Amino acid sequence: MKMKKIAMKTAILLAAMTTLGTASAAVAQDLKTITPGIISVGSDQVYPPYDYLEDGVTKGFDADVMAVLAPKLGVKVQFMDTRFASLIPGLQANRFDMIASALYVTPARAQVVDYIAYAKTGGSLMVRSDDTFEPRKPEDLCGKRVANLKGAAWVPELQKVSQAKCGSNPIDVKEFATSAEAAQALLSRGADVVFDDAGVSKAAVVASGDRLKITSTEILFPVVMGLAVKKGNEELFNRLKKAFEPLKNSEEYKAILAKYNLALPTDAEIAAALIESN
């Protein structure tokens, strides 16, 4: 009698597993991606702590997000290392299905991609530890060489500050392919200050052995970050949104945000990010 009960429980368990596997396969097959069953993700993997390679494996915030989001879509994740300035062109050229790379939400980008806002951050100012120059805000950068990540959302904001506040002593905005190159320019005295994401700056200070320091005392140009899908790919956008909505308020997702000192943006912050400033 006991053996019959065990056999029955085993049969029920196997049937449930088969049903679950069939359902997952159906979800994956139903989702149209460049490679069936796989969602390819454009990511600039030289941008710790958000995106970086460790022993050939993609790590960081976006990898953690996709690790919990992809199973809900029934697909596996394939990251495609792409420099930041080439992410949106790559998406438009169908080299990958989506972008997960700490991509800031801006009105200009929203013309060509659809966003799912998944976190918010902001910028920090970083100088050499032995420097007496300690800028607190963008207005302090007049006449200084400011290293930035090429294509970063705050570059036009710095240019606006320069035009409005600096007169004949403008901010010299210098753009680099990676944040590491911007930090190296600072260390080699090819720049006076680095303006970069707050999380990236914190990681850079640690990586430098404290040869660098953050001098700003608050988050500058607070920004919303979004997962991005090519404009017009409504099926993938809607599926991602449907999968993310219940996830974003879960304890699992809150733990991921806390790990990287990030937060969820409010609806008002998301709306504001999509409004073109004068």
- 213-253 pLDDT tens trace: 999 988 898 889 999 999 999 999 999 999 999 999 999 99
Q: What is the pLDDT of residue 259?
A: 86
What is the model's pTM? 0.71
Q: What is the pLDDT of residue 276?
A: 65
| Contact predicate 228/115, CB 8 Å | yes
What does the pLDDT average to over 49-66? 96
User: Residue 94: CB partners within 8 Å, gap ≥ 6?
Assistant: 34, 230
Poorest-pLDDT segment among 10-24, 81-95, 170-184: 10-24
Most confident of 4-8, 16-20, 79-83, 202-206: 79-83
> Does the pLDDT of residue 147 top 50, yes or no?
yes
CA distance readout (Å), 272 to 123, 218, 230, 236, 257: 17, 19, 21, 25, 21
Q: What is the pLDDT of residue 23?
A: 39
| Contact predicate 85/155, CB 8 Å | no
Query: What number of H helices and E strands is found in the chain?
Result: 9, 12
Poorest-pLDDT segment among 93-102, 150-159, 189-198: 150-159
What does the pLDDT average to over 187-212? 93
Query: What is the band of 191 on the pLDDT scale with cuts at 50, 70, 90?
Result: very high
Distance CA 131, CA 48 (A): 25
What single letter denotes the amino acid at residue 190? G
What does the pLDDT average to over 152-170? 94
Domain boundaries, the chain: 26-121+223-273, 122-221
Distance CA 43, CA 60 (A): 11
pLDDT digits (tens, 9 = 90+) for 84-142: 999 999 999 999 999 999 999 999 999 999 999 999 988 999 999 999 999 999 999 99
Q: What is the pLDDT of residue 77?
A: 98
Q: What is the pLDDT of residue 241?
A: 97
DSSP code, position 165 = I
Q: Angle, nearest 10°, between helix axes 251-259 and 234-248?
A: 90
Matching fold, domains 26-121+223-273 and 122-221 = yes
Reference 84, options 50, 123, 133, 125; nearest CA is 50
Poorest-pLDDT segment among 20-34, 205-219, 252-266: 20-34
Place of tokens 């530890």: 129
Q: What is the pLDDT of residue 190?
A: 98
How do beta strands 212-214 and 145-149 pair?
A: unpaired
CA 24 from chain center: how many Å?
27
% residues pLDDT > 70 (the chain)? 88
* Domain at 122-221, CATH homologous superfamily: Periplasmic binding protein-like II (3.40.190.10)
- By the 10 Å C-beta count (0-12 exposed, 13-18 middle, 19+ buried), 221 is classed as middle
Strand-by-strand arrangement of the 46-47 sheet: 46-47, 51-54, 57-59
Q: How many CB atoms lie within 10 A of CB 236?
A: 18
Q: What is the pLDDT of residue 25?
A: 41
What is the CATH code of the structural domain delimited by 26-121+223-273? Answer: 3.40.190.10
Q: What is the mean pLDDT of the chain?
A: 89
What does the pLDDT average to over 170-187? 96
> Does the pLDDT of residue 199 top 70, yes or no?
yes
Q: What is the pLDDT of residue 106?
A: 92
User: Residue 101: CB partners within 8 Å, gap ≥ 6?
Assistant: 42, 43, 44, 47, 50, 51, 62, 82, 84, 87
Distance CA 210, CA 213 (A): 7
Q: What is the pLDDT of residue 18?
A: 43
Reference 212, options 127, 97, 118; nearest CA is 127
Distance CA 274, CA 105 (A): 7
